[in-house]
Amino acid sequence: MSRRVPVRTALLSGVAVLGTVLLTASPGATASANHQRWSLTNVGAYGGEPSLASDPHGVLYDVTPSGGMVGYRSVDHGKTWKPTAVADGSSGDDCVTTDQTGAIYECNLAGSTENAPLQADVWKSTNGGKSWVRGETNTPGLKASDCATSCSPFGVDRDWLAASVSKKGDPTSKATVVLMYHDFYGPTSIWVNISTDGGKTFSKVDNVMATPAVTPGAVTGSLEAEGYTFCSTVPAGVGIVPPGHPHAGRIIVGWIASDPAEDAAGCNISQYESFHTMWVSYSDDNGATWTPQLAYDAGVGHDTSTPFVAFTLDSAGNPYFAYATDGEGNAGLCGAESTAGTVQSDPSCEYNMYVIWSKDAGATWDGGGGVIPGSAAAAYRVNSSQEPGTHWFPAIAADSPGHVDVAYLRTPTILPIGPTGKADPGGCAGNKSVPTYPAPCKWALYAAQSVNLTLPPGKATWTTNNLTGNVPMHVGDICNLGIACVGSAGSNRHLLDFIQEVVDPVTGCAHIAYADDNTFNRLRMANQTSGCFTRAHR
């Protein structure tokens, strides 16, 4: 599981710079037709795993758990940033989202305002982050000061949020707000608390795989989902289909899991099994019933936990996963080559970046044909073969259906992996005690864009941009085992566990929140300034 504590805050200052853009193209794409430009700027003091959201007017919000729920706001498309009020001075995992009225919602783990450990709170602001109000729990006999907004008997880990008004023109007081997470002490299942009064009060905790009443035809899916996830899960995110579209109001949660056979490799905290299956569960009745669905199986030994996959919905409410895995090679062979020190010469062992998506709000993925009905048979590969190495930390944002931006970190080094397909802790650290390990990995921030993901996998095209050029934003290891990362092996979690990306609904331009702990030691933002999605795309 992805247990984390806030990382240090660096106080060194930096300046805004123009991002270096190096273009590559996936097969069939034309780099010269891209015309993308990006700028890079500082947001604030250093903070890992920044969460990012845009309101309907293009106002951006960036939040990091480093030093509490430290938040920033930009009203000029990411060029400049000002701090928001701190909702909670103590925070583990956090998140941020908005609804159609512009109201802001933040979540955080293990805050300072409740008695129970490892619970999650939801905070709301209707004045641009100047002040915050915490959501209450509807658990009988308890209140948020006892067990936070979540009030889960099994504890909370890796929380995500979604918010949406039910009808166009409704006030924020009628918004549906969904807090999702997996548990810390129990069966590592996926849970939600749901509010239908704009985040004022939240329901008791509900399991999205084993509710008392599952939808007709979903019993098999529920049993399969439970079988794959009882050992360990990694939550990916949650979304709500917006009003005015098919399946409006549908709540969709996403996560990754392993499989029953691999669970012996290591459950829960160690996370050493390969998380090769991606799942969703959706509800059309505010959580009364749920329909679980396998989205994709990357194959035994092909781990997708880096340590997270990315999850988003497009403007019509269709869900997407972006993930990285060594999906081209044989996991056992790549593990042996890593041990022997020969993996650098085998491009089939590199972690590449992929996307899967659903055109019908989560029921069928990439046209179906996978191992379970409705699941994808193949994924979309994002990076081209001319961009070798390791592709890590996926982030994804979508505009209209099939118009998608993906961000990730990339090093030319093929990182060593173990026999289960997991990255070796310390494998990118230049650990001299392991002579077969490569020199310290140098990581750059990349952005990719596709405007034709409506085509089948293998036909769609991507154009990729190196945003940080030859100046690494991170050097060394990026461990994917959560709190099981071993410091003595040279592994580190300085960046914590993810970066995030959004598309400005006004301009169609992408924005990427990331942490730089090598050159600037700041919380940073990449802002797309040209080559954005246009109204013609929408």
Residue 445: CA count within 13 A, CB half-sphere: 28
Distances (CA, A) of 436 to 178, 336, 343, 349, 476: 46, 11, 9, 16, 15
Q: Select from 489, 506, 463, 336 the least CA-distant residue to 25.
A: 463
- Locate the domains of the chain by residue range: 17-219+227-261+277-284+291-311+318-530
Band the pLDDT of 102: cuts 50, 70, 90. very high
For the cut 50, the answer to whether the pLDDT of residue 3 exceeds it is no
Of the chain, the end-to-end C-alpha distance in Å amounts to 38
Band the pLDDT of 2: cuts 50, 70, 90. very low
Which residues 6+ apart lie within 8 Å of 342 measured at CB? none
**Which fold does the domain 17-219+227-261+277-284+291-311+318-530 belong to in CATH?**
Methylamine Dehydrogenase; Chain H (2.130.10)
CA 298 to chain centre: 17
For the cut 80, the answer to whether the pLDDT of residue 343 exceeds it is yes
Query: CA 408, CA 355: separation in Å to the nearest integer?
Result: 12
If you average pLDDT over residues 287-303, what whole number do you get? Answer: 91
For the cut 80, the answer to whether the pLDDT of residue 486 exceeds it is no
What is the phi/psi pair of residue 255, to 5°? -160, 170
Higher-confidence position of 312 and 186: 312
Query: CA 450, CA 518: separation in Å to the nearest integer?
Result: 30
If you average pLDDT over residues 262-290, what whole number do you get? Answer: 80
Q: Which of 71-75, 127-131, 140-144, 478-482 has the lowest mean pLDDT?
A: 478-482
- Structure confidence at residue 218 (pLDDT): 52
Query: CA 110, CA 24: separation in Å to the nearest integer?
Result: 42
CA 530 to chain centre: 25
Maximum CA extent, the chain: 63
- Structure confidence at residue 5 (pLDDT): 32
Q: Where are the alpha helices (DSSP H) in 85-168?
A: 144-147
* DSSP assignments along 406-431, one per residue: EEEEEESS---B-TTSPBPTTTTTT-
Band the pLDDT of 4: cuts 50, 70, 90. very low
**Neighbour count for residue 421 (Cβ, 10 Å):** 31
Look at strands 201-202 and 136-137 and give their pairing.
Answer: parallel
Higher-confidence position of 28 and 517: 517
> 387-401, pLDDT tens digit by residue?
999 999 999 999 999
Q: Select from 87, 95, 88, 58 the least CA-distant residue to 73.
A: 58
Query: CA 423, CA 419: separation in Å to the nearest integer?
Result: 9
Altogether, the residues listed in the chain come to a count of 538
